[in-house]
Amino acid sequence: MTDQQPSNPALDALAASGLDYRIVRHGRVNSLEEAAKARGVEPGRIVKSMVVKTGDTYGLVLVPGLRKISWPKFRAALGVNKAAMPQADEARELTGFERGTITPFGTKTKLPVIADSHIGPGEVSIGAGEHGVTALLDAQAMFDYLGARVIDVTDEE
């Protein structure tokens, strides 16, 4: 799919992916509920992308909108004792995106992806590299493309 608006690395990566997606552009939002309304989806269909650090290793965790990372589940699933979100500047250096715009598409550094098992099935909304820009695409197709490891790493908020 082609988006005729200005591009960024995430949109370029999506365009090159071969995935079936559509881009939705909206104004800046301040809450999950505002984002869901602007994107025309239920809050649980929004996927948040978060950089996580375990020791010297980084990865992206995809979390459904109404859930949060369960650190005990995450550590147990990965077999690590410590895991945390890095500082915002560290996440930006790795991905090329500021917090609130991080996406698994077009990151500066290729990062392994863990997708929470509560995402999908069907169409989801994931950020596309800048505030107010999102991609709507099939969750399973996205997981397959990203080579995501799909496991339960969240709890309800």
Tell me the pLDDT tens digit for each residue of 35-59: 999 999 999 999 999 999 998 999 9
Tokens 């550094």 belong to residue:
109
Q: Could you tell me the pTM of the whole model?
A: 0.93
DSSP letter for 84, please: B
> What range defines the domain where residue 116 resides?
9-156
Answer yes or no: is 69 within a domain. yes
Tell me the pLDDT tens digit for each residue of 67-81: 999 999 999 999 999
Answer yes or no: is 3 within a domain. no
The Cα 28–Cα 140 span in angstroms is 27
Establish whether the linkage from the previous residue to 121 is cis, with ω within 30° of 0. yes
- For 77, the 3-state DSSP assignment is helix
Answer yes or no: is 99 within a domain. yes
Answer yes or no: is 43 within a domain. yes
Structural domain total, the chain: 1
E strand or H helix at 17: helix 9-17
Indicate the burial class of 35 (C-beta count within 10 angstroms; 0-12, 13-18, 19 or more): buried
Determine the pLDDT at residue 2.
Answer: 47
Q: For the chain, what percent of residues have pLDDT higher than 90?
A: 94
**CATH code assigned at 50:** 3.90.960.10
